[in-house]
Structure 1
């Protein structure tokens, strides 16, 4: 049986909010990580990393999700968020950490 991780707390940061709602909508629509990745034009692993807060959602992926889910600009409005003082994992936002989120 696969390990199911708990969703991120969307109250911690905007990145966690985005990751939380990406997973929420994917599961609400009954999509697998692979199916969601096909909508976005990315791999299953990329979707997993975005949902885990390890990778940022790109504008074109956000637009594809909003079109598919009918969510208006929910994902698109969050994809261009400014840099925050800390990353979703709470680490300092140094240039090396920042590169891993892009």
Structure 2
């Protein structure tokens, strides 16, 4: 796929066997997905795989219950990964509970 003029030249993909499985890693610039390098906080990108078997006409797809289409992002699947801000709340709650328990123990020892 040709790289657009705004494409980052350091976006090389890589493929290798890891643990007996073929693994691919791609670097994709925000601008290539959302059209700018500062997407909104809750922006979500779709993900789809369309692979063609080089030995025959079979096409394999992944990304939704129906085969994804190249130019229809709503047909792609979504991968939700937790962000730092979402994990910050549980960590803060555990910290508050720890300090309350510590203070109660200190008061009981006094």
Query: Which TM class, normalised by the smaller chain length?
Result: under 0.3
Give the structure with higher Rg (CA): 2
TM-score, L = length of structure 1: 0.25
Higher relative contact order (CA 8 A, sep 6+): 1
From the two aligned structures, give the one with the greater strand fraction.
2
Larger proportion of helix: 1
